[in-house]
Every structure is written in structure tokens, then in C-alpha cells.
Amino acid sequence: MLTDLYQLTMMQGYRANGCWEKEAVFDLFFRTLPPGSGYALAAGLEQVVGYIENLHFDEDDLKYLSSLNLFQKDFLAELRQFRFTGDIDAVPEGSVVFPYEPLVRVKGRIFEAQLLETALLNLVNFETLIATKASRVVAATQGGAVMEFGLRRAQGPDAGTFGARAAFIGGVKSTSNVLAGERYGIPVSGTQAHSWIQCFSSELEAFRAYAKTFPDQCLLLVDTYNVLKSGVPNAIKVGLELEKEGHRFLGIRIDSGDLAYLSRQARRMLDEAGLKQAIIVGSNDLDEETIWAIRGQGAAIDAWGVGTHLITSKDAPSLGGVYKLAAEGEKGIFTPRLKVSENTAKITNPGIKKVVRFYNREGKALADLIALEEEEFNSPALTIFDPVQTWKRKTLEDFRTRELLVPVFRGGRRVYSLPELTEIQKYAARELDTLWGEVKRLANPHRYIVDLSAGLYDLKQKLLREVNLGLEEREG
């Protein structure tokens, strides 16, 4: 039932018009990268798998649909036994991906494939968006740890929890979200609120009470009253007391003010007091651009708490992925299909496709080709060209290739082993290492090459000519 109404009305229409058994291939892809980003990190496949494996209509669902007075009884009876029986291929979570590349490819009865559109877009769009944002935030710290603190500002519980999972794929070290920690095994972290400090008669008393309660995890919030005149001096007193008792003082968190200046001064004070091992955590509506700027000003921050801007991807609140028909057929024989638009960016790539990534011998990604499924690239040299500005060409030599799409379902049965989340995070880090630094720049990144293969380009042009010829004949 996590679907748009028109998916169900189209399904009934397919059945009523006798074409519900027709086979179809749909591609899920996005057209543009989030602003400022040179890449995206695919995420959400585990949730897609869970959705497919549990996809059914129960009696309460059917009762509700019947109450809408839109659906015929024989259609509702068909929904009662609905299960997905087709094939799904997808790029593994953590893969670096680019516009127009199929992230998920669905093949099956159009009656079944149509229903998947809304849920798959919901799951893949959001987690891919947050994983991408998180990877940029992590990159801005240049080796610093990032703690995801976004649950309270997320767009609902699911966004907070799935977002924490996606952020971990993007490289954050921990989350404040306890449910995400329990469900996905993400390390959880946190300090105390300003209300804790305010509940005691003095800041020093509040710090000592917290240290007594958590002597080996004591990270003190120092900006409730005055960072340098009160918070840090009181934290130093408590830290030295803990160290004298045989505990390790963890450090401090600064949540307001000029983080660059305050952290430098706090670092000096901690070091002079003999607490050189104590870390400084910075927070306060941070994003990758702010972190980059603060670091450039010499901030002495070891770890970063990032919430609102990460969990909502505030500068790019949606990915804009789409789910488009690429081919239809009967008995395994498919005919490519093309969507034409006055907006050239919305003209789709027809046929059953794959994505091939080309690497040099050092493992750096050179370019991607969106190609027809049957195409092979075994020659020692290959000239690729921009599908819009076709005079722009590049010859690849001494390369190796990898196909990004992997089988996930065959005949409705899962054939893919879901990796642990920690393995996905490691895979994402390796994927990012294959990109040149210019592509990963936080501002004005270099555009990574994604071209159409010669076979796909020729097919697309042929279908466009046929469409235009048909229009001309009708007008004549």
C-alpha cells in the first residue's frame, strides 16, 4: 500500500485491457546530481529487498481499496494473491553512481513491475541522497570523525532512522539515534544537553555529577554559560580529577560561537593543563562548507557533530530519481521503448541496459558507459563520445572494466546476499578512492565522463527519427 493511487489504477487498466501479462523493463535512475556534488553514493538496496520480499496485500488492504469504489472485484481478487515474480538487478549499496545510470533495473510482468515504482523511488532516492551528503561532510573534515546528530530534525521517524543508516554508508562514525544503533549495529554516541547543566546549582557541579555517572565516557558540553571563562576551566578541573582517579577524560564539546577561535583557545588551555589527549567536538548547524571553512581557519576540532543539514540534506532536499519504461515484450523477446520530451534531459535511453565502468591499471575510474546488455568491450582501445556534444571524444587504452549492475532477484527469488552495514561502508570508501580528487571537490567538481555506447546511441537516434517521421506523416 506504500504506493501512489495511479499505480493501482494503471494495474487495473492493464488487466481490463488484456495486456497485464506483457513483459516490461523499467530503469530507476536520477537525472541530476545534488548541487555542488560531482558524484552520488547509491543506498537503499537493503530496504528495497525487504520491501520486495514482503510485498503483498492483506485483507484490510483489500477492504480499504474496495471502499474507494474504483476497483473491480476480479482485480482485487488478483491483488489477494499478488507476489513479485520477476527479475531485479541493482548496483550494490555504496557504489559511486552518476546521472542516467540505472541504479535498479526491474524486469517482469508489467502488472507487477508497475506497482514497484513508488516504493523503490522512495527508498532509493532518500538513502542515496543522505549517503551522498554524508560522504561530502566526512570529506570536508579531512580525516576527522563525524557523529550524526539529526534525528530530532529529521522529516519523521523513518527519515531519521533510514537517514542514520545512509549516513553511516557515507562514512560517519556514529549516530545519536538509538533505534538505528539497535537495528543496524551503528555505534551510538552523545554527550549531555544544556538542560543537564542548567539543572544543577553550578556548571562545575553538573560536570562533576556527569563525570561520577560516566567516568570513562566523560565528554562535557562547555558552552552553556561561557566557553573560555567558565566551561573549559571547569571541564579541566573535572578532567584532572578523573585522570587522578585512574580514568581517561574524553574531552569537551562546543555547540555555539566561533568554533574556529574557541576551539583553538580551548586546545591551548587543555594542553597547558596536561590534558593533551582530550578531544574537542564541534557542533552547531554544520555542513560540509562550514566545516571546510572552519578547518581553513585553523580550528582545533577532532570530531564533528552534524545534524540538521545532514539528515535533511538541506541544500538539496530531494534526489529526483525516476522510474521509466525502457522495453516491453512477450515470451522473452523485448522491443526497446523511448520517452520523448520537449525537454531533452527527459528523453529516456531505450532498451535493456547495463553500466560499464572503465578503470586504468592503477584502479582509478576513467569513464562510464551506459550500454546495451549484449554489448561487449574487449578491444585494447575504445573511443567514447559525449552523447550530446558528439565531437567530444576520448580514447581509452589499457583499461579494465566492471559492470555495475548485479543480480538481486531472479523469478521473484532473492539471489543476492546482503552485506553487513560495516562492509557497505568500507566498500563505499573504496569506491570513493577510485575517483580522482577533481571529481570529489566540494566546490565546482570536475564532471565525470558518462557516455552512451555506440550501440545505445545509434538505437536512441533511430527511435527518435522514427518518432519524428511518424509525427510528420500524421501532420501531412
Instruction: Give the pLDDT band (50/70/90) at residue 476.
Output: low
| Residue 222 forms part of a structural domain | no
| Residue 257 forms part of a structural domain | no
| Residue 68 forms part of a structural domain | yes
Q: What is the mean pLDDT of residues 233-248?
A: 97
Using CA atoms, how far apart are residues 150 and 141, in angstroms rounded to an integer?
18
Using CA atoms, how far apart are residues 356 and 353, in angstroms rounded to an integer?
10
Grid cell 591499471 is found at 361
| Residue 297 forms part of a structural domain | no
Using CA atoms, how far apart are residues 145 and 173, in angstroms rounded to an integer?
6
How many domains would you assign to the chain? 1
Using CA atoms, how far apart are residues 105 and 107, in angstroms rounded to an integer?
7
Grid cell 578541573 is found at 237
The helix (run of H) or strand (run of E) holding residue 400 is strand 400-403
| Residue 184 forms part of a structural domain | no
User: Domain containing 337 — which CATH number?
Assistant: 3.20.140.10
Q: Taking the model in full, what pTM does it have?
A: 0.96
| Residue 441 forms part of a structural domain | yes
The helix (run of H) or strand (run of E) holding residue 67 is helix 59-67
Distances (CA, A) of 443 to 136, 140, 146, 395, 446: 11, 11, 20, 28, 9
| Residue 240 forms part of a structural domain | no
| Residue 271 forms part of a structural domain | no
Using CA atoms, how far apart are residues 353 and 29, in angstroms rounded to an integer?
12
Structural domain for 92, as ranges: 5-131+316-475
pLDDT digits (tens, 9 = 90+) for 118-159: 999 999 999 999 999 999 999 999 999 999 999 999 999 999
pLDDT digits (tens, 9 = 90+) for 242-295: 999 999 999 999 999 999 999 999 999 999 999 999 999 999 999 999 999 999
Q: What is the mean pLDDT of residues 361-373?
A: 97
Amino acid code (one letter) for 230: S
